[in-house]
Chains A and B, each alone.
Chain A
Amino acid sequence: MITFDHPALFYRDVEQYLSGTTDFVRSAVAAGDAVLVAVPGGNLTLLRDALSDLGRQVTFADMAVAGRNPGRIIPGVLLSFVAAHPGRRVSIIGEPVWPGRSVVEYPACVAHEALINKAFIGRNAVVLCPYDAKRLRRERLDDALRTHPFMIVDEVRRESRWYADPLVTAALCAGPLPPAPASAPVAAYAGPTDLSRVRRFVTGCAEAGGLCPERAADLVLAVNELAVNTIQHTGGGGAVTVWSSDEYVYAQVDDRGDLADPLAGQIPPHPDREDGRGLILVNDLCDLVRVHTRREGTTIRLHMAR
């Protein structure tokens, strides 16, 4: 029987964390599932030690690295693991939210948690999401109850009464972004022959903003893909704005398109399909992608850590 299960595990200490997660992994391994543990740094060390006897039956990933950009967790961490184990049920521990997640990153984490419920429809899988109930703020725990159909608290599993329509929750995360500085340089584009000029503009700004040439090239490729989407799908042009802060170099693409599907950039298309990979690539290249959709257009803000 194909079922998908997506519970949130609230833990208050190491003991609760280990009992909730290791029991899950051990019973999944015993059942013959493909098992992935994708949790951030310190918790990863804990689980690697606690599960060392299982050897290669468990795959580990550092969520703070592989899932730094919450927008790449579904395609790049979860679904790629599913694709690597065809025909098998998969059991995953995914911890995308931790106390160090910044205010800028956090809405993308909530959207990610909501969209898992849609991305895994029809897949034989369990994704267990641990939440640090002691150190995470109350509002973030409330969000976990909105994005998970089930919750496990003090080892008791029950339905979440607060679970909400994932697409509505994801849409709430696509609200307005803090404005770009008025002094930030802008390059407008209208057609394909403008792309090389846009790339030179982004390269110059990104390197001036302190990105090394390799990271600047990543940002240039990401912006190019978004500008191509504008030209091919909106029937109009767009504009790229680039600026930087202490933390990030930002490139923002604005156009009049309507990015209606919150799952865009989340689910890899069939290998034979020619299109549908642009936003997945953008998520793969960038440290954070925030989206603001509204009736008049779409803003996609790319963040590259300096």
Chain B
Amino acid sequence: MAATGLLDRLTPGDHVCLIFDDEPLRTRSVAQYIRAGLRDHHRIVYHGPGSDRVEAELTARGVDVRPAIDRGQLRLGGECPRDGTFDPEATIESWQEEARRAATAGYRGLRAVGDMSWAVSHDERLPWYEAEVNRIFAEGYVMGVCLYDRRLFSEARLRRVTRAHPSTVTPETDPRAVPLFRAVRTADPYGIRLEGEADLSNRQAFTAVLEHLTEDRAPTLTVDVAGLRFADSAAVRILVHVMDGRERVRLVGCSRMLRKLLAFHGAGPAVECLP
């Protein structure tokens, strides 16, 4: 039952892989997540089957769903991919467009939730998509929960997609580890804020978000690591790669352990560690 309630802790910027094997739990989790979105004045988009059940669950919990749907705050249903072919680039584009529309309409965030069962037959480019879409979440406006049914995906396939999510919630997840990791871009100072724990479970997400930083050639990059409770050796190595070639990188809130790992991986003299 670990998943219920935990989704309440999520904020814009989060991208969570929710692995479930129990239908009532799934419905309850989705209803709770949507309810929190209505409370937080987010636009909410639910892709997937079973929207009737989600609606019934929300109604049972005293949420008046119809007005939210009518005023365009909530959209239930809708299949992904729409015409049966999965185009990851176009899907990412459409999320960007969706985010722009929500912002224009005055919502404080865009809250997506998607049943990923369709991906059983489209899994070739799925991990790439799940990793790349993190750059949208890293803007700090969109948040997403991807629902993966453990009964449909093999352990190996699940592992490939979980790595692409900053945070994975299973029925066995320790509530203190939710969300495990969050990366949010910052405009002033230009850079990124890293929070939580970066490890093998979210490696591909971590890599994708950081690699997108290399596309902008701003000379000074500020990486706020004060909230980064844990980074394993490989994560720090990726960080060192991203920082290579910059004129100046400021790491703010550097722990003793992070300094040790930066030295171990030969971080260059351009990297300035600030307390």
Contacts and interface: CB of A to CB of B under 8 A. Distances in A.
B199 A224 contact: yes
Interface of A: 191-197, 199-200, 214, 217-218, 220-221, 224-225, 228, 231-232, 271, 274, 277-278, 281, 284
Given A217-B257, A271-B266, A195 B174 contact: no
Given A224-B199, A281-B264, A196 B174 contact: yes
Nearest to A198: B199
Contacts of B162: 192-193
Nearest to B158: A191
A192 B201 contact: yes
B259 to A, nearest CB: 12
23 contacts: A192-B159, A192-B162, A192-B163, A192-B201, A192-B203, A193-B162, A195-B200, A196-B174, A196-B177, A196-B199, A196-B201, A197-B173, A200-B176, A214-B256, A220-B230, A221-B232, A224-B230, A228-B199, A228-B232, A228-B234, A232-B200, A271-B266, A284-B264
A231 B203 CA distance: 13
B233 A281 contact: yes
A214 B256 CA distance: 8
B220 interface: no
Interface of B: 155, 159, 162-163, 168, 170, 172-174, 176-177, 180, 197, 199-201, 203, 230, 232-234, 237, 256-257, 261, 264, 266
Given A217-B257, A221-B232, A221-B257, A195 B199 contact: yes
A251 to B, nearest CB: 16
Contacts of A220: 230
A231 B200 contact: yes
A213 B155 CA distance: 35
A152 to B, nearest CB: 36
Scoring A192, A200, A231 by chain B CB atoms within 10 A of each residue's CB, the highest score goes to A192
Contacts of B203: 192
B174 A277 contact: no
A196 B232 contact: no
A192 B233 contact: no
A197 B174 contact: yes
A192 B200 contact: yes
Nearest to A218: B257
A196 B197 contact: yes
Nearest to B237: A274
A217 B180 CA distance: 17
Contact of A191 (B159, B173, B256): B159
Given A199-B230, A221-B232, A193 B173 contact: yes
Given A193-B173, A228-B200, 17 more contacts: A191-B159, A192-B163, A193-B162, A193-B170, A193-B201, A196-B180, A196-B199, A197-B172, A200-B176, A200-B177, A214-B257, A220-B230, A221-B257, A224-B232, A228-B234, A274-B237, A284-B264
A236 to B, nearest CB: 12
Nearest to B233: A281
B85 to A, nearest CB: 30
Nearest to B203: A192
A225 B233 contact: yes
A37 B246 CA distance: 37
A278 B177 contact: no
Given A214-B256, A221-B232, A231-B200, A193 B266 contact: no
Contacts of B176: 200
Given A228-B232, A277-B233, A281-B233, A192 B257 contact: no
Contacts of A278: 233
Nearest to B181: A196
Contacts of A200: 174, 176-177
Given A192-B162, A192-B163, A200-B176, A225 B199 contact: no
Nearest to A285: B260
A108 B61 CA distance: 63
A50 B163 CA distance: 57
Contacts of B168: 193
A218 B258 CA distance: 11
Contacts of B170: 193
Contacts of A217: 256-257
Contacts of A277: 233, 237, 264
Scoring B162, B170, B172, B201 by chain A CB atoms within 10 A of each residue's CB, the highest score goes to B201
Nearest to B257: A217
A194 B203 CA distance: 14
B237 to A, nearest CB: 7
A191 B162 CA distance: 11
A192 B163 CA distance: 8
